[in-house]
Amino acid sequence: MPGDVTVLEWSLRLILAALFSGIVGFEREAQHKAAGLRTHMLVGFGAALFTLVGGYAFEGADPSRVAAQVVTGVGFLGAGAIFRQGVNVRGLTTAAGLWAVAAIGMTAGVGIISGAAVATAITFVILNFLGFIETIMRKRGAISNRRPFSVKLSNLTEFNQILNLIRSIDDQTGDVGLERIDDETYTLGFDVDESHMHTLVAAIKSFDSVVEASEIDPPAQ
């Protein structure tokens, strides 16, 4: 990054990086995701600060090396937002969002403010509006309308009956994964057609061994 940057420019870039990242974080906060407003703002701010320090604080330093390390570091941070719920995985979109705001912060850090603003708008649209398009496409059959579903059991005494019930409601259900969480908790994971979701929830909760039954990571409404 050639040229000198004044303290005012440093401050402006850092503030804008935090604000742009906060716009993305607001959407994640509204969806009650693992990483929310403050996390996204700190990631974007931190990425911008590392970029500025790497570009200006060390004479003769290669800014691209700092950028590469920021990407690696955010990758580890994003992995913390990904977790398993039974046999299902959640948090991939939030992790990708953290990765995106780091890029936005770096873009603001090098002074490409218009690029950072456009990237923020695109990221926000992807997170906040494409869910509606997915829902419409599912209803029209353009993409699969099957959703991941999880059932938590306190024991396996009714396992066969529950399995038979699942397949009687949705005969397209494929493999049903079973995972032991601890000595007293098990989780079933499988896909179910959206049209059978409410019927399945109502029916499956009638079993004494069922602790919880719910869709995994439902689409935005």
Say which DSSP state 192 is in.
E
Whether the full predicted model's pTM is greater than 0.85, yes or no, is: no
* Residue 85 clears pLDDT 60, i.e. is over it: no
Residues of the chain with CATH 3.30.70.1150: 145-215
Chain segment 155-169, per-residue pLDDT in tens: 888 888 988 888 888
Q: Nearest to residue 210, comparing CAs of 170, 135, 154, 167?
A: 154
Chain segment 7-54, per-residue pLDDT in tens: 898 899 999 999 999 999 888 888 777 678 898 999 999 999 988 888
d(CA 77, CA 98): 8
* DSSP labels, 34-56: SS-HHHHHHHHHHHHHHHHHHHH
Predicted local distance difference test score (pLDDT) of residue 12? 94
Domain spanning 145-215: which superfamily?
A: ACT-like. Chain A, domain 2 (3.30.70.1150)
